[in-house]
Structure 1
Amino acid sequence: MHIQEALLFVVGIMETQQGANWLTTEGKNTTIESIFGGGGMDSVRLRIWTDGDYDLDYTLALAQRFSKAGYKIYLDMHFSDTWADPSDQTIPSSWDDTSVDTLAADL
């Protein structure tokens, strides 16, 4: 199995908040999906946080956009308000008053 994938969770923010647009090598407007898909990419990895810019609504819209273009979607779930990795797993502030048992059942 061969997968070509990119981490593109920032695409929506770049377009809506920073005015990014995507151009072909000929300088014509296109979509990021077309650029990467034309190069053989077939999968996209998206990150989701509990709150903030990369929340459920944002990530779901981006996933639907790439899925509609034929991409496989891989989701990185960060149960945090911000960046999380194996050495930094701070729970979201909105979960501060939630018991471990409730969190385990909900997740």
Structure 2
Amino acid sequence: MTGCRGRAMADVAAVADPRTGLAVYAPTSKTSSAWAQYGGTSLSSPIVAAVYALSGRTSGYANTIPYAHTGGLFDVTSGRNGSCASWCAAKTGWDGPTGLGTPNGTSAF
């Protein structure tokens, strides 16, 4: 699809848009912290890792697990993550921006 050998896109997705992200209380300097809105990989990676950890799965190749549990994922079917070709548009089933979708609880893993 992309001309790349191997995997080139997402398997699963989570909150990624900084404009609609989540409020996070984080350090703003060495001596203070404040609430800020975050999105993107810095937020979505820990969310997916936390859901995976909560699933209790302790072995196996983690990247293949969502493909065996698609019923535990919410399929994102609309939206884009840029103006690139078709692999930047969400659609039914697997797509470039959201992979198989977002975890709908621990059953995704």
Same-fold call, TM cutoff 0.5? no
Flag the structure with more relative contact order, 1 or 2, with Cα contacts below 8 A and sequence separation at least 6.
2
Structure number, greater radius of gyration: 1
Higher helix share: 1
Greater strand share, structure number:
1
TM-score range, shorter chain: under 0.3
Q: What TM-score do you get using the length of structure 1 for normalisation?
A: 0.26
